Amino acid sequence: MKIIVDAMGGDNAPEAVVKGCLLARDEHNVNIVLSGKEDILKKCIENETKDYRNIEILNAEDVITNDDKPVMAIRRKKESSLVKALHAVKNNEVDAIVSAGSTGALLSGATLIIGRIGRLERPALAPFIPTDKGFCLLLDAGANVDCKPEFLADFALMGSIYIKQVLNIDNPRVGLLNIGGEEGKGNQLTIDTYELLKNSNLNFVGNIESRYVLSGAADVVVADGFAGNILLKSIEGTASYIMKGLKEELTSGFRSKIGALLVKPALRNFKKRLDYGEVGGAMLLGVNAPVIKAHGSSDSIAIKNAINQTKNILDNNVVNLIREAL
C-alpha cells in the first residue's frame, strides 16, 4: 500500500503536512510519497527526524493555489505537486491521494486525470458529520451544484457502500435532505429523487430535514452539492460560534472561571467530537482510486487522520465495491 500526499497543499503546508505524514507512518507503518519541492520537503523531514523509512519524495517545482482557476491550473501547471500526484495515481505508481489544497483543483484533477468509474456521470464529495449516534455521511457536499435525480440515486448507492465498509453498518439508513419530512415535499429534483430511492434496494428512510441530521436520523444523507454545502458550512459555523461563545462566557468573571475548571474536561471532549481533524477528510466517491480532500486548515493531526482514513478505505476495497455495484 502506497499513499501519495500533496505536501504543498493547505494553509499549513508543507510543515504540518510533512509532520502528519511522519505521524501516520509511525502509527500504521504505511508507505507515503510526498509530492512537492524536494529541497523544502527534505528540510521539513529533517527538522522532525533523520528516519526516511517508508517515505519517498516526488519532486514537483510548481504549486496550485486557491487563487488559480481549477481546470486551467490542472491543464497548465503540469509540474505542480497536485498534478504530478494525480498522475502517479493514474499510472498505478501509488494507490491513493490525500490533499489539503484547492478543493476545486483536486476535484477537477481527479475527474480529468484519474477518471470516473464506469457509467457514473458525477463523483460526489462525501464528508463525515458527527451525530448523536456517531457519524453520518453527507454527499454531495459541493462537487456538483446542479444535479439530476439519477445523480442523487448514485450518490445514495455509493454512500451506502462506503459507510457499510468503513463504519461496519450492515444496512445503512439513507435519508434525502429536504425542507420537510413528508413525501411530496421539496422541489422537482427532490420529488423525483424520492421516487427513485423509494423504489431502490437501499434502506431509504425518506426525507430528512436539516435539523434532524445531527440527531442521527440517517446514516447517509443525500443532497445536491448546493444544499449539501450549505448544510455542511452551517454546521461548521454553528459549532465554531457555540465554542467561541462558551469560551467567552466561561472566562467572563471569577465565578465563571471557577466553573470553567470543573467543566473543562467535558468541553474538551465535546470540542473533539466537533473537530473535522478527528475524522480526517472527505472522500471523492465515484473516481477510479481513493481521493481524500483534507480541510484546508488541517494541522499535522488532521493530516495523520486523513492518511489513516485513506488506509481504511484501501483496506476495505471501497472503490472496487462501488465499481461492482454501478
Query: pLDDT digits over 205-228, tens only?
Result: 999 999 999 999 999 999 999 999
CA 260 to chain centre: 33
**Cβ–Cβ < 8 Å for 231, 177:** yes
Residue 326 has pLDDT above 90, yes or no: no
Residue 311 has pLDDT above 80, yes or no: yes
Residues 87 and 37 in one domain: yes
Strand order in the sheet with 203-208: 128-131, 134-139, 220-222, 173-177, 203-208
- Predicted confidence at residue 243, as pLDDT, reads 81
Averaged pLDDT score across all residues of the chain: 91
Residues 263 and 164 in one domain: yes
Give the number of domains in the chain: 2
Residues 46 and 129 in one domain: no
Residues 132 and 274 in one domain: yes
- Predicted confidence at residue 132, as pLDDT, reads 86
User: Distance (Å, rounded) from C-alpha 136 to C-alpha 326?
Assistant: 22
Q: What is the pLDDT of residues 77-125, one digit of tens each?
A: 999 999 999 999 999 999 999 999 999 999 999 999 999 998 888 999 9
Query: Three cell numbers at 169?
Result: 453498518
Residues 46 and 175 in one domain: no
Last residue of a domain, one of 243, 262, 278: 278
Residues 15 and 130 in one domain: no
Q: What is the pLDDT of residues 231-258, one digit of tens each?
A: 999 988 888 888 888 888 778 887 777 8
- Predicted confidence at residue 166, as pLDDT, reads 85
Residues 55 and 131 in one domain: no
CATH number of the domain encompassing residue 218? 3.40.718.10
Residues 262 and 147 in one domain: yes
Q: What is the pLDDT of residues 262-306, one digit of tens each?
A: 777 776 776 666 666 666 789 999 999 999 999 988 999 999 999
Residues 105 and 236 in one domain: no
Q: What's the rounded mean pLDDT across residues 304-313?
A: 93
Residues 189 and 240 in one domain: yes
- Predicted confidence at residue 276, as pLDDT, reads 60
Query: Three cell numbers at 1?
Result: 500500500
- Predicted confidence at residue 274, as pLDDT, reads 64
Query: Three cell numbers at 64?
Result: 496550485
Residues 10 and 138 in one domain: no
Last residue of a domain, one of 278, 294, 318: 278
Q: Which residue has the higher pLDDT, 150 or 118?
A: 150
Residue 198 has pLDDT above 70, yes or no: yes
| Domain hosting residue 80, numbered range | 1-120+286-326
- Predicted confidence at residue 252, as pLDDT, reads 82
Give the residue carrying C-alpha cell 429523487: 193
Residues 78 and 61 in one domain: yes
pTM listed for this prediction: 0.89
Write the DSSP symbol of residue 210: G
